[in-house]
Chains A and B, each alone.
Chain A
């Protein structure tokens, strides 16, 4: 399968806690992108990290990339109810080939 893998498939935490999601891919990449999808909606871009970068921040989001392990992680700090969504990683593998993982369903409990 060309699909990336995400771990865990589902995550449920209390509001205010941190959430960490992991992504693995199978081949060399140009960049790795993270997206959020609310129920019944399209995907929304969160962060793009290039293959020569190791860490990137955007507000409460922190993304790391380890190309030697072919893995990435997304950390959401101080989670809020509005962060409840599915999160997808997508590895850019050349031309217009963007390979999406199967997603992590994150639930933030009040």
Chain B
């Protein structure tokens, strides 16, 4: 049982380049989330999805887009990367949403934008 899988694990981008981070979960969870983790800032929610075909903005959505075309996958896109987007990105899923159930996290993608 893989749980939540994120690809890639590491990536270096130049300013202005684009990329997509892929998250896949095999737990049949309805809810999926993208967070970023920065030193001294804890985790901050970027976007989330409450089910296939839905997306919603979190706390820090600017510069990112997401798509949930299939229930098991949640994609995070950076259209034009900026140095401020250097961070560790975590995907998470939840069976019933954070009000009723915990999050299951992937192991993260470390992104550096130069």
A102 touches B103 (CB 8 A): no
CB distance from A36 to the nearest CB of B (A): 11
Which of B67-75, B76-84, B105-113 lies on the face that meets chain A? Answer: B105-113
A interface, how many residues as a size bin? 20 to 34
CB-CB under 8 A for A44 and B45, given A96-B31, A98-B98: no
B104 touches A96 (CB 8 A): no
Could you tell me which residues of chain A, from 1 to 50, have a CB within 8 Å of some CB in chain B? 2-4, 30-31, 33, 35, 40-45, 48
Q: Which of B92, B97, B105, B106 has the most CB of A within 10 A?
A: B105
B102 touches A101 (CB 8 A): no
CB-CB under 8 A from A94, the residues of chain B are 99
CB-CB under 8 A from B59, the residues of chain A are 2, 97
CB-CB under 8 A from B48, the residues of chain A are 96
A96 touches B45 (CB 8 A): yes
CB-CB under 8 A from A31, the residues of chain B are 98-99
A96 touches B103 (CB 8 A): no
Could you tell me which residues of chain B, from 27 to 61, have a CB within 8 Å of some CB in chain A? 31, 33, 40-45, 48, 50, 56, 58-59
CB-CB under 8 A from A44, the residues of chain B are 105
CB-CB under 8 A for A97 and B45, given A42-B108, A45-B104: yes
Interchain Cβ contacts under 8 Å between A and B, 17 examples = A3-B41, A3-B42, A30-B99, A33-B103, A35-B103, A40-B107, A40-B108, A43-B90, A43-B105, A45-B102, A48-B101, A88-B43, A95-B99, A96-B98, A97-B59, A100-B43, A102-B40
Beyond A42-B92, A43-B43: 12 further Cβ-contacts under 8 Å? A31-B99, A33-B103, A42-B108, A43-B92, A43-B105, A45-B103, A45-B104, A95-B99, A96-B31, A96-B99, A97-B98, A102-B42
A: residues with CB less than 8 A from B are 2-4, 30-31, 33, 35, 40-45, 48, 88, 90, 92, 94-98, 100-103
